[in-house]
Each structure stands twice: as structure tokens, then as C-alpha cells.
Amino acid sequence: MESFSETTVHSLNTLVVMAKAPRPGRVKTRLAQCLPVEAVTELYRCLLDDTMALAHSLDTVEVAIMCPESDVYELSCWADDGVRVVGQKGKGLAAALTSVFAQFAGADQHSIIAFNSDSPHLPASVLEGAFKTLAVHDVVVGPTHDGGYYLVGAKAAHPALFDGGGMGTTSALEGLLARARGLQLSVGFTDAFYDIDVEGDLTRLAAELRLDPARAPRTALWLKRWGRAVTKLRTGTGDL
């Protein structure tokens, strides 16, 4: 099931947000070890809202969502009109990324970028630059500081690019680049950045959004509500 006709004509660029329905116990599970599950679920909802706002701020970009098949209906009801919500084939992140390019790549060789749902504070200029990088490279990658990546883009489907272990680990980027070399694909990079996976990421984001809440306004409001809990994460005091 999709929220948008499969006959839709693609724009020059497509940004696909990798998402899940914000259900308790299924999102941001590492943060759920130190924050109440309802807080973590609400945080993910805010991150996703801000990510979609960031995506819609880009000009001449089609915005879509790739998610587990079980989440298509819920996210279709939530998403803005005109946003395709597509269920991935298979389970896990590797299957989801493979599904992105299998679904959206075509003979027109337009640029497709898969973007995570927990870096809404990323400057829009970085996403714009990623699309420009794809004009001169086969693949673009946005590395994270922990050895992963927050975005990956291409103009064609390369299933073997994600055919390997290590997804979601500190070796994820290394594995991706090794497979790209094996496929003889040229790779360009965006600026290194960080997503929100663990306590340190959240406290760093809190400090940045206190100075500039407009970067991710819904998440900034969540941080105000849960500021005391986040402060405890930073200082290591008390139990949550």
C-alpha cells in the first residue's frame, strides 16, 4: 500500500526519509534505557516531525518515506499530502536502503538520497550539497562521527551496496565504502555530522538547540519539557 500513486512523475531529486511509526518500545531503544519510554517515543515523533519540515524546505525535491510494511498505514495518515509512504521489502536497515533505490531509481538517472529521521538539526545546505555531489559521483555518503552514516544517495539501484553485515554499527561506513570500491563506484562525501542514538548525542543536541531552537523547533520544545531528565543524563546524577 502507498499513499501516492505509483504512476507519479518523479522530480529531478528525491529525498527519502527512513522512518518508523512512533510506537512505544520500537524507536530509539538505546535511549529508552535511560529515559521513560513515553518520553523516548515522544522524542522520536518530534525528531520525525522536524526531519519532514527540513525535507520540505528544499526546493524541487520530491519527499517520500520508506518504512516497515506494518507502519505504512499509520505514517500515510500522518504524512502531508503528496508524500509517498512506501513499505520496504524485507526486514532491517539494509533491506530498507535496498528498497529505497529499487523503488525510486529509474532510467532517468535522477538523484535519490536516503536520509535518517533523527538528524533534523542538519543544515539544509548539507542536503542541497549532497544532491550536487551526486551530479559528479555515483554515490554520496554523509558520515557520522560514530562510524556510521546519516545519508546515502545514488542515481541507480546497486543492491550489493547494502549486501553485508555491520549495519547500525561503528563499522557501517567502512563496510559501505568497501562495497562501493568493489562495485567500482565513485563516492563523494558531505560534512560529517551526528544523529541522535545515545545519551551523549541528546545532551549535545540540547546544548545546540538552547542557542538556536529554530533548527529543530519541535525537538527543542521536547527538550524544554524533559530538560531536567536530560540534565541528569549529562551530570550522571539520579535515576530515571
Give 18-48 pLDDT, tens digit per residue. Answer: 999 999 999 999 998 889 999 999 999 999 9
pLDDT at 5: 40
165 contacts: CB under 8 Å, gap ≥ 6: 175
Q: Assign 1 a pLDDT band (cuts: 50, 70, 90).
A: very low
Residue 148 has pLDDT above 60, yes or no: yes
pLDDT at 51: 98
Q: What is the DSSP letter of 10?
A: P
Nearest to 58 by CA among 109, 8, 128, 111: 128
pLDDT tens per residue, range 50-108: 999 999 999 989 999 999 999 999 999 999 888 999 999 999 999 999 999 999 998 67
Tell me the residue length of the chain.
240
CA angle 181, 185, 188 (to 5 degrees): 100
Contact between 92 and 20 under an 8 Å Cβ cutoff? The reply is: no
Domains of the chain and any CATH numbers: 13-196 (3.90.550.10)
Q: Assign 165 a pLDDT band (cuts: 50, 70, 90).
A: low
Contact between 202 and 196 under an 8 Å Cβ cutoff? The reply is: yes
Distance CA 83, CA 59 (A): 15
Q: What is the mean pLDDT of residues 128-145?
A: 96
Average pLDDT over the chain, rounded to an integer: 89
pTM score over 0.85: yes
Contact between 203 and 233 under an 8 Å Cβ cutoff? The reply is: yes
Q: What is the mean pLDDT of residues 128-155?
A: 95
pLDDT at 237: 35
20 contacts: CB under 8 Å, gap ≥ 6: 26, 27, 44, 67, 68, 71, 117
More reliable by pLDDT, 83 or 239: 83
Q: What is the mean pLDDT of residues 202-211?
A: 95
Q: Assign 166 a pLDDT band (cuts: 50, 70, 90).
A: low
pLDDT at 234: 60
> Helices 227-235 and 217-225 sit at what angle, rounded to 10 degrees?
80
Residue 233 has pLDDT above 50, yes or no: yes
Distance CA 210, CA 59 (A): 28
Residue 182 has pLDDT above 50, yes or no: yes
pLDDT at 8: 41
- Strands 61-67, 84-87: pairing is parallel
3-state secondary structure 88-133: CCCCHHHHHHHHHHHHHCCCCCCEEEEEECCCCCCCHHHHHHHHHH
Q: What is the mean pLDDT of residues 192-198?
A: 94
